[in-house]
A and B are shown apart, each in its own frame.
Chain A
């Protein structure tokens, strides 16, 4: 299924952060929720993920890339899922971004999440919360470094 992404329009001054998780969108949703609200607990994150899925994914989608939230500071969080290897997805999206006129938007950050080797129900119960927290922390650091450079 090809997702539609029309609910948040992107302006080319905004940075795109894509949280990608393999096999289930839940880790990506937890990461995006944690990114939006650093104080959120795992339980709150799971509730947020459930609400988001009900609202935005009426049907179970094995492949999708959708906007999650627009944040202050000029960037938009996206969540994506598929079964493809995270590194492959990251390289492909970065390569496609570089096709953009003038050598790419240079405004894309793809953050693959771990966890695809565990049973799906464990992943969706948030067992990867420590790893997700680490990835979000790394993304925040990368964003801070980008801002410092500009």
Chain B
């Protein structure tokens, strides 16, 4: 739960080890000096390996960015080269040929809505499963965890059928016939994704770690269950909520299949679906394509830079499932 404390403990320990090593070095004989040189060599090799691997993971992004600011002629030049003139107008061209800003707006909007809704649903349910007593609680919790086993792609078709026949939306009658239901609207892009077994599980695990004393004290003072949830549990759960919120936002922002099948009109497309149509229209305009790719990538990278700690925490915590 607290990587920072283990990290600092680790750092402290390495500091101690380093000190011991220094003291030891003073006593070192000639033969052991070459051992130290070996160690230095080992660390050098380690860094070389780390840098080489970093290049493998970062280079494609750099290459894509460089292509996005080159002229069409330079794109087809041999070798890895920098652009002679940095053509940022490729980005303007890219935004003008496709409705990229609208797609970006759609993606941000639906991702925020889904993240907030998931936080509300998962925190209330997680709180009840962790801190409250009611008949059938443990059985219901097992049922919630069981839904984690349902793969999202296996429900793609029936979920589509469901939202298309949603009553009283998109010109549908009360029986869900005659229109498009939730399709091609923000409804389809948000509401079906509110449910989150993963989030409920994650927050329940977190709420279990909160001390019971505060809660008991509040209860004696006459606080309602909602009061305990709102004024005690939530304020103490900042990091866990941030983790789930960022995790949900990222998943929704990068989601492709669901927006692909539920949106038709251009104004409803998300950035991933909008970007994908670059390919569908058979373009080989690489500068334009890479500029579009960068536009779809940079916002989520910014979110990543701001909430880096929480990104990786969400994944590490998901390991609890196993």
Asked if chains A and B come from one complex, the reply is no
State the B residues within 8 Å of A (CB). none
**Which chain A residues have a beta carbon within 8 Å of chain B's beta carbons?**
none
